[in-house]
Structure 1
Amino acid sequence: MTADLSPTLSSEALPSPMLQLLLTRRSHLALTLAEPAPSDETLRLLLTAAARVPDHGKLAPWRFIVLRGAARQTYGDRLVALLEAREGPLSDERKAQEAGRFVRAPLVVAVVSCAAEHPKIPLWEQELSAGAVCMNLLTATHAAGFAGQWLSEWMAFDDEAAALLGVEGTERIAGFIHIGSPTHTPADRARPDLDSLITEWTGA
């Protein structure tokens, strides 16, 4: 069972703006994101913030691929071609769906996990770091006055689709962060019941 657990705070315990952001951040559906997207300068700041994550061994086991402008449609068209080569001609509805996946938002950043075998740093820690990059980027996007949604969809798990973006070897797409300007305020969703998720270990 889930419940909306918006914190109850006294006037003496009002959160800082940063904590307030974390307590109220909400994903916006990619379809609802509009121009303008962040400028080049703002995008660089967002990616700088995204990269400030725990990173055991300072490996930076992740990288970014930016899709914007006409490149978004080009990638969608190549996904259609890839699927038709496998499955035969797609229906008009399916073709429009696949071709339009990356034009829903004005900017998409693919976060690529570059985790690799290391004598001291487990792969799992490197992959977690890439996930933290996705979340940092999403949070930074909202802090900058924009909105975003973290999606994966089938392209993130398909080697040929990922290769179209230059993802290679053991690299994997951790997520596609769709970014743009919000067009409305989405309603919050039910949040987990924290009491059911918290245990305190006492050693007893």
Structure 2
Amino acid sequence: MNAIEALVTRKSVARLTEPAPGSEDLEIMMKAAIRAPDHCRLRPWRFLVVEGAAREKLGEIFMEALKLRDPEAGDPLLQKEKNKPLRAPMVIVVIAKVEEHPKVPAVEQILSAGAAAQNMMLAAHALGYGGIWRSGKPCFDPNVKRALGAREVDQIVGFLYLGTAERPPILSDESPDEYVEMWNG
């Protein structure tokens, strides 16, 4: 698949199954990720690849964090939180490693990590995999960050759920016209 085709046909896919990207495809995806725009070459990203039983451990982290955020959360909600990482055979946690820098504010570093995540999603799509970028409260939960080895200043920009689409996504014929305008000052 060429780059333009990948860009205009990528769509989030929530229903994922085996196989997940193998080691060769994962290496290609990571090479794409680190080509993201990066002011001053800070490399403000960290990627955690979560597969197999490690997904259950990630689910435990999500569940324990929810218990701390909401002590009133009932068993069905806790179980749902625990099962989230099991919705795909692979989850990649994208963390922005934010550093104090005189030329590159934190927001640029977080955007750079986000661009790396998008490059990874596009590469996965081009290689024939499906995926969805999930965020939500676990991204901003200090207990989740700590359990994943992120510092307080770091930011989890997303959890990339990857695998094979159970069924091909249906693309809409949405036009960019409603989002674009020519600005002439």
Cα deviation code 1:32-66 (max 9, x no counterpart)? 11111111222122111111111110110111111
- Measure how far apart 1:161 and its partner are: 1.6
Cα deviation code 1:74-124 (max 9, x no counterpart)? 121233233335544743311220110111100000110112221122322
Report the residue type matching 2:139 in the other structure.
Answer: A
CA separation in 1, counterparts of 2:127 and 2:75?
38
Report the residue type matching 2:10 in the other structure.
Answer: R
Between the two proteins, the alignment pairs up a number of residues equal to 185
Q: Which residue matches 2:16?
A: 33
CA separation in 2, counterparts of 1:138 and 1:196?
25
- The match for 2:90 among 107, 111, 132 is 107
CA separation in 2, counterparts of 1:83 and 1:21?
36
CA separation in 2, counterparts of 1:110 and 1:190?
31
Where 1:181 maps in the other structure, the secondary structure is strand
Q: TM-score, normalised by structure 1?
A: 0.82
Q: Which residue matches 1:162?
A: 145
Contact kept, 8 Å, 2:2 with 2:126, in 1: the verdict is no
Q: Which residue matches 1:135?
A: 118
Any gaps of 5 or more consecutive residues in structure 1? Answer: 1-15
Q: Which residue matches 2:8?
A: 23
| Worse-matched range after superposition: 53-62 or 112-121 | 112-121
- The match for 1:67 among 50, 58, 65 is 50
CA separation in 2, counterparts of 1:110 and 1:184?
24
Which structure has the bigger radius of gyration? 1
Report the residue type matching 1:198 in the other structure.
Answer: V
Larger helix share, 1 or 2: 2
CA separation in 2, counterparts of 1:143 and 1:202?
36
Any gaps of 5 or more consecutive residues in structure 2? Answer: none
Q: Which residue matches 1:198?
A: 180
CA separation in 2, counterparts of 1:187 and 1:123?
36
Q: 1:37 to 1:122 in 2, by over 3 A?
A: same
What is the CA RMSD across the aligned residues, in angstroms? 1.9
Q: 1:83 to 1:198 in 2, by over 3 A?
A: closer
Contact kept, 8 Å, 2:142 with 2:152, in 1: the verdict is no
Percent identity of the aligned residues? Answer: 37
Q: 1:181 to 1:81 in 2, by over 3 A?
A: same
